[in-house]
Amino acid sequence: MELKGKTAIVTGSARGIGEGIALVLAREGANVVVNSRKVKDCEVVVQKIVSSGGKAIAIGGDVSEKADVVAMVSETIKQLGAVDILVNNAGIEGTPCLTKDLSEEQWDRVLGVNLKGVFFCCQAVIPQMMKQGQGRIVNIASTAAVRMTFFGSLEYTVSKHGVAGLSHHLAWELADSHITVNTVCPGGVQTPLMEAGTTPEYREMTIKRLIPLGRFTTMEEIGEAVSFLASDRAATITGQMLAVDGGLLTGFGEDLRAVVRTRMESMKAGAH
């Protein structure tokens, strides 16, 4: 339990990758703030942690709203006394489309959560971490932060590249305050949402095309990477990007442009 006594905020942790991260951090002894826009959505994860002997609280808030973020951090300090670890996991995708069809509203919404939300959360915890004399910030990006998203849209790729740049800058800026800032880049992660939205055949085809290790990553495996970067074992690791992707970024893959364009055009046609 190498995080025993530490307090961790995990944004967007009511389900999916965020849930996996929250459960692993709790297993390692951290007191976990489970966050989602609605408090009630966090209750199942909080109960899982508590029933396993850990400590967790739910704090609602939209990370794209600065007032919500400030209130979340303030409540965390009030209830748990510190903020040792911040995991910026909250993220959204817009309706997949080609750039010629991308609306300003979708651009603003995705960048608002995926990038501005990370900025707001980092900005809110930095004073407390500086006061404590240490801290760990782990930002969850994507392999889209290194290359691009295969099946999403431009704004998602831009938002994740932005997270990578933000992390690099903050790592330099905060190093003398003993605050490390790193980025985890998940590849294909098998979440309940993915399973609900795809067929087994589609998942098998994707694995064969893109993932050298031959399987998707689990939610808990993303949590293991975050836990390491949040621990004392990673005390001198900062400003780094860690891909947890089954080798996706090592391969050449296929030219999927035709597949992607056909899919997006068919989705557009179906919306009318």
Catalytic residue among 120, 150, 156, 228: 156
Asked if 216 contacts 148 with a C-beta cutoff of 8 angstroms, the reply is: no
Question: What radius of gyration do the chain's Cα atoms show?
Answer: 18
Give the sign of the dihedral formed by CA 210, CA 183, CA 10, CA 148.
negative
Q: Would residue 156 show up in a list of annotated catalytic residues for this protein?
A: yes
d(CA 1, CA 75): 25
Would you name the residues annotated as active-site residues?
156
